Amino acid sequence: MTTRLVQTRAELRGALANRDGEIGVVMTMGALHDGHRELIRVARRRCAVIVVTVFLNPLQFAPGEDLSRYPKTLETDVELCAAEDVDLVFAPSVVEVYPLGDQPQVRVQAGPLGEILEGDSRPGHFDGVLTVVAKLLHLTGPDVAYFGQKDAQQLLLIRRMCQDLDFPVEVVAVPTVRDPDGLALSSRNTYLTAADRDAALTLSGALHAGRSVAGHGPAAVLAAAHEVLGGEKSVGLDYLALVDPVHLRPVPEDYAGEALLAVAARVGSTRLIDNVMVTFGAAA
């Protein structure tokens, strides 16, 4: 099978015309890695047609963030997609996605769930994410959309948008893919120096340390994670939070069930995020 690169709405419509079977979409900003490869592979197990979108969305970057230096590797992205038997790579220009300008007057608002954690650190970020995801869902018309668990808050908000606004698509979460040393895969990992990368392992180490003491309760989980993070002075902590996975509210000490332990930190010039699920109560 030949992977086809399309870059306009018209090309996309033509390429999807008369396709049989379920369509699965994997949305990316490019700079594809093995985490994206796993999303594609999970999609391929179910869907007859796989569309990978490659679009660096300016709407979700604030002034001073890394939009201008974000890695752009379309040729190698298409090669990775071809190796995974992707049917279509949709890589539109900014003008193609936002024909009336890249500051559209009508946008999707993330609401209260988009104003905490990542949303508190990056105001307006999730409005930009949901706006482009909505547009790409309309353009690609998938039956199933696949997103990584590493971006847990984003995943929650996309699911909520699809439910609240009646998008006819199933949203499937794919577990975080990690390097053997535990570092969660991210396109931004390419920014890390060797020393930064060693320091970045503190994030996954802290999450593991927290989860390992779940039997002692939420306060112990946070204390253990903070202890690991505090041992690496080159890591600038943005937030460490232990929240319920539906409303993202801090969990009380008597909490039972699954909770999300999430961290965001700056390592050198690079901001990284990671998370794990922690189970409290009889099932812990």
Q: Which residue intervals of the chain bear CATH 3.30.1300.10?
A: 187-278
pLDDT digits (tens, 9 = 90+) for 101-141: 988 999 999 999 999 999 999 999 999 999 999 999 999 99
Question: How high is the pLDDT of residue 18?
Answer: 87
Among all residues, which ones are annotated catalytic? 36
Sequence-separated (6 or more) residues with CB below 8 Å from residue 115: 123
pLDDT digits (tens, 9 = 90+) for 194-208: 999 999 999 999 999
263 within 8 A of 240, measured Cβ to Cβ: yes
**Other beta carbons less than 10 A from residue 205's beta carbon:** 18
Percent of the chain with pLDDT over 70: 99
Q: Which residue intervals of the chain bear CATH 3.40.50.620?
A: 4-174
Q: Tell me the residue length of the chain.
A: 284
Give the residue-averaged pLDDT of 236-255: 97
221 within 8 A of 258, measured Cβ to Cβ: no
Least confident window among 25-39, 79-93, 270-284: 270-284
Percent of the chain with pLDDT over 90: 95
- pTM of the entire predicted model: 0.96
The whole-angstrom separation of Cα 135 and Cα 139 is 6
Helix, coil or strand: residue 100: coil
Question: How high is the pLDDT of residue 284?
Answer: 46
- Four-way CATH pick for 187-278: 3.40.50.300, 3.30.230.10, 3.40.50.150, 3.30.1300.10: 3.30.1300.10
Helix, coil or strand: residue 21: coil
The whole-angstrom separation of Cα 91 and Cα 244 is 36
Sequence-separated (6 or more) residues with CB below 8 Å from residue 212: 224
Confidence of residue 177 (pLDDT cuts 50, 70, 90): very high
pLDDT digits (tens, 9 = 90+) for 143-161: 999 999 999 999 999 999 9
Sequence-separated (6 or more) residues with CB below 8 Å from residue 233: none
The whole-angstrom separation of Cα 13 and Cα 78 is 19
Q: Is the dihedral of CA 196, 197, 198, 203 positive or negative?
A: positive
The token pair that represents 254 in the structure block: 């008597």
Give, for 229, the enclosing helix (H) or strand (E). Answer: helix 218-230
The whole-angstrom separation of Cα 177 and Cα 33 is 10
Cα–Cα distances in Å, from 62 out to 125, 127, 129, 198, 264?
A: 7, 11, 12, 28, 17
- In CATH, what class is 4-174? alpha beta
Give the residue-averaged pLDDT of 239-245: 98
Cα–Cα distances in Å, from 249 out to 18, 48, 184?
A: 45, 39, 24
pLDDT digits (tens, 9 = 90+) for 26-68: 999 999 999 999 999 999 999 999 999 999 999 999 998 999 9
The whole-angstrom separation of Cα 209 and Cα 126 is 29
Cα–Cα distances in Å, from 99 out to 103, 141, 266?
A: 10, 19, 35
Mean pLDDT (the chain) is 96
**Residue of 18 and 55 predicted with greater confidence:** 55
User: Which has the closest alpha carbon to 56: 164, 116, 132, 109?
Assistant: 132
